[in-house]
Amino acid sequence: RIRTAQAPDAAAILQHDAHISARELQNLIRLERVYVLQAGGRFAGWLRYGLFWDNTPFLNMLFLLEGERRKGYGRALVRHWEARMRALGYTTVMTSTAANEYAQHFYQKLGYSRCNNCLCSLFCVADHLSCGIRQVRVPVYTGGYRID
């Protein structure tokens, strides 16, 4: 089950997420930019995002607890997020990973394209980063993908 995070979810998220302050997480929860996945009635992971350039949803964190990985939950969270972004009227979503991180293969399987173009040079400020762009409602194009 995937749902929008509520204030009490912050404690469980912060046990595993050292990349965000409690205050900022509460802000994102209030803005409904965090989704929680429950499996068997238990907290299993989350996805949180922000807005890149104040206009493009950017997936900042996708995390599943150790025992909940490789069960399709990550794909479900990303697809849920993409559907919500589409419903909110966005046409492009983005994420990034380290170039040597396994997650880049996960996002490529979901249709995200690695970009090494002008946009990427603005976005990926170091050679060890890899960007992924996915766009909404049109075929694949260089450096991105639209969500169908």
Across the range 43-65, mean pLDDT stands at 93
pLDDT band at 29 (very low <50, low <70, confident <90, very high): very high
Residues 6+ apart with CB under 8 A from 138: 146
Residue 112 DSSP label = P
The confidence score (pLDDT) of residue 120 equals: 35
CA distances from 51 to 11, 33, 90, 105 (A): 23, 9, 11, 23
For 70-128, what is each residue's pLDDT tens digit? 999 999 999 999 999 989 988 888 888 766 667 777 888 888 777 654 233 233 333 44
Task: Match 């599943």 to its residue by tokens.
Answer: 64
Residue whose structure tokens are 């559907």: 83
